[in-house]
Amino acid sequence: MSESAVPEPVPVPEPVPAPDPAPPDRRRPALSPSRAADFKQCPLLYRFRAIDRLPERPSRAQVRGTLVHAVLERLFDLPAGDRDAQAARAMVGPLWSELCGRTPGLAADLFDGGAEDPEVPGWLESAEALLETYFRLEDPRRLEPAARELLVETELGSGLLLRGYLDRLDVAPDGRTRVVDYKTGAAPRQVAEARALFQMKFYALALLQLHDVVPTELRLIYLSDGETLRYQPDEHELRRFERTLDAIWLAVLAAGATGDFRPNRGRMCDWCSHRSICPAWGGTPPPYPGWPRDPEASAEESVLDRAG
């Protein structure tokens, strides 16, 4: 599975009320790691993203993360012997063009001069630098992932539906599993580390529900500073985490029934796209539209969410 040994996995031998359930012929609303983190950080941010679906202007760092993720996904389409840094760098330009083609106006949102802006080449080189770091941390010629950009969806015992995408799933011949997530930022300090592991525990719990096996290792690969965070979950911890997710979802549903999504002012507000309409900053939110009929609304993660 990798160059490092990991221990054997451990086999594993009141319904949540919705304020306005979706029609029976549609999938139910679900909880994703990004939206759960939003609600924990600021319930009003959850509302703006999951219910109002307000647009947010992407940052260069976010889109660069999306681009690097795309390269690392496509890299494994190549024969093992061709997966080198030169091949990865060669993908950056074409995938940037592909991303712009799928998202009209993206280049203009990021650069004053659009795709021809003189800052674009340097920005693309910064993506190549992150990929160079990846090759110092792993040798993709020795890896054959079981899945990439894998949608995981499962229902907990409470009835809560979990849904999210994981970057990579490695499965060894003896059945050991590893969940890998690429991060284009720097490795977190203690408080931020807990936030990063929240996402990974989400995926580990989903895989436990789906396959009845605890993933052997959760691995976060930080491409900005070349750090790797490894974590070995156990079933008892994941079951405690399951109760945490149930509690978050109950709080989401309670707020959804009344529209009482309160702001939580803090340092993360400096990066929020919605300060101008946030009451914590003297703004006025749009009228609450009610709990979404669109069953995907409360769970949907954009590619920017997943880029990290």
pTM: 0.83
Whether the per-residue pLDDT at 149 is higher than 90: the answer is yes
To the nearest whole number, what is the mean pLDDT of the chain?
Answer: 87
- In SS3 terms, 161-222 reads as EEEEEEEEEEECCCCCEEEEEEECCCCCCHHHHHHHHHHHHHHHHHHHHHHCECCCEEEEEE
Whether the per-residue pLDDT at 301 is higher than 60: the answer is no
* CA–CA dist 245, 160 (Å, integer): 8
Residues 36, 300: contact at Cβ < 8 Å? no
Question: pLDDT, tens digit, for every residue of 77-125?
Answer: 999 999 999 999 999 999 999 999 999 999 999 999 999 999 999 999 9
Residue 197 confidence (pLDDT): 86
Residue 302 confidence (pLDDT): 52
Whether the per-residue pLDDT at 30 is higher than 60: the answer is yes
Question: pLDDT, tens digit, for every residue of 233-261?
Answer: 999 999 999 999 999 999 999 999 999 99
CATH architecture of 33-54+144-307: Alpha-Beta Complex (3.90)
Residue 186 confidence (pLDDT): 76
* CA–CA dist 148, 161 (Å, integer): 21
- For the chain, the domains span 33-54+144-307, 60-142
In 3D space, the residue among 206, 160, 163 whose CA is nearest the CA of residue 296 turns out to be 163
Tell me the percentage of the chain whose pLDDT exceeds 70: 85
